Structure 1
Amino acid sequence: MNKIYHAVYETMADWETGHATAHIRNGHHHREPGRYELVTVGLTTEPVTTMGGLRVTPDVPIGSVEDAAMLILPGAALWDEGDELAPFARKARELLEAGVPVAAICGATAGLAREGVFDTRGHTSAAPAYLQMQQGYGGAEHYVEALAVTDGDLITGTPTAPVDFAREIFAKLDLYTPEVLEAWYQLFAHSDASAFETLMASSDA
């Protein structure tokens, strides 16, 4: 159960999950390094072009997701342009019902809202009004004004806070001790130089 699936699709917002993926793969984890394998998942295995212009070839199609430790859903213009990415939202609902964590940021939260995932779970997004525009959304009472929110196995984030989103992912995956996780956050969110020493000390351990 060590595969972390990262969805990739046309118009994907590269920067929203960059902190998370870089440190899942390369961070000095307090458990064994390389504990998780990052697998890219697309609608098919045809190459896609991200919003930043990077060309990415998915490792597997959405129908082949198995033994998932987590599914990460970045934002994309496509989430707001129709239901082409709905298979990712359906898979997210299936995984959550099976007790597998799902992390969604920005436009991906709209897809989960339409799928009914937020009707019973605490969540955040770009703004409450953004989700209220989504047909099928019934979770307004569970909306939380925060940069990133974890409710059980569901992690959601606002588009302007990739560091906060990554912190919630790392905590859920138990990548770091709480002290090291806080130091990581202080360094990347607030450029706190003193936090760097804590991180360096942990990597030498």
Structure 2
Amino acid sequence: MTASSKRIHLAVYDTYADWETGHTTAHLTQRGHRIRTVGPTAEQPVTTMGGVRIQPDMALADLSPEDSSLLILTGASLWDTGDDLAPFAEKAREFLAAGVPVAAICGATAGLARAGLLDDRAHTSAAAAYLDGQPGYAGAGRYVEADAVTDGILITAGPTEPVAFAREVFALLGAYKPDVLDAWYRLFHDSDETAFPVLMAAAERGDA
């Protein structure tokens, strides 16, 4: 796999919910993927919900699907207070149309709902009622009560499920073999101590 094909793009913007993508980006980095942050501009730093300042690697306008293997859209208060982040939902439309995966968690699912990107795809979010209130959303019949949902190349998850979100991303990208991914999820989501030896054995074999 080339360096370009392993590049992951993480959307960052003011009020970005720091905790929602930590598992995803940390473990993808360990698996050899390169994380690049994408902001509204490359010049202006953004401040996360946790008060952390991030200088984006690149501007959204400069991001092309052919240069990426995944676009991650995080939750943020801005998704619920206006249309400032609508360009990120439109970039997701561009990615999906090009056959490049998109993973959205928390408020980002509302942005996709308003853009009509969930109408024909199975998806989840914080709650069905949260999406029902989004203007233009017509996907209620495809809503799934689950921690995280993958439909083709689109992943969605609610705000309380960063580990399930990461699991779906890893599965879609083939980051871990199925048995190792199962052990990873059991350890980080369920605190199942029996999963630890499985991960250690996989690491020794070069599977993790």
- Above 0.5 in TM-score? yes
Identity %: 62
**1:68 Cα shift?**
1.1
Q: Which amino acid aligns with 1:3?
A: R
**1:75 Cα shift?**
0.1
Structure 2 stretches of 5 or more lacking a match?
A: none
TM-score with structure 1 setting the length: 0.95
1:13 aligns with 2:34: no
Alignment of 1:25-64 (within 5 A): 25-26=29-30, 29=31, 34=32, 36-45=33-42, 46-64=44-62
TM-score with structure 2 setting the length: 0.94
Structure with the greater relative contact order (CA < 8 A, sep ≥ 6): 1 or 2? 1
User: Could you list the runs of 4 or more consecutive aligned residues of structure 1 that deviate by over 2 angstroms after TM superposition?
Assistant: none
Count of residues paired in the alignment: 198
Alignment partners' CA distance in 2, 1:7 and 1:83: 16
Superposition RMSD in Å: 0.7
Structure 1 stretches of 5 or more lacking a match?
A: none
Deviations 1:24-52 (A, max 9, x none): 012xx4xxxx2x21110001111011001
1:146 aligns with 2:146: yes
**1:204 Cα shift?**
1.1
Match of 1:22 in 2: 26
Give secondary structure in 2 for the equivalent of 1:51: coil
Alignment partners' CA distance in 1, 2:183 and 2:63: 33
**1:194 Cα shift?**
1.1
Q: Which amino acid aligns with 1:133?
A: G
Q: Which amino acid aligns with 1:44?
A: T
Deviations 1:114-159 (A, max 9, x none): 0000011000000111111111101111000001000000000010
Give secondary structure in 2 for the equivalent of 1:119: coil
Q: Which amino acid aligns with 1:146?
A: A
Alignment partners' CA distance in 2, 1:91 and 1:136: 18
Deviations 1:53-75 (A, max 9, x none): 11101000001113110000010
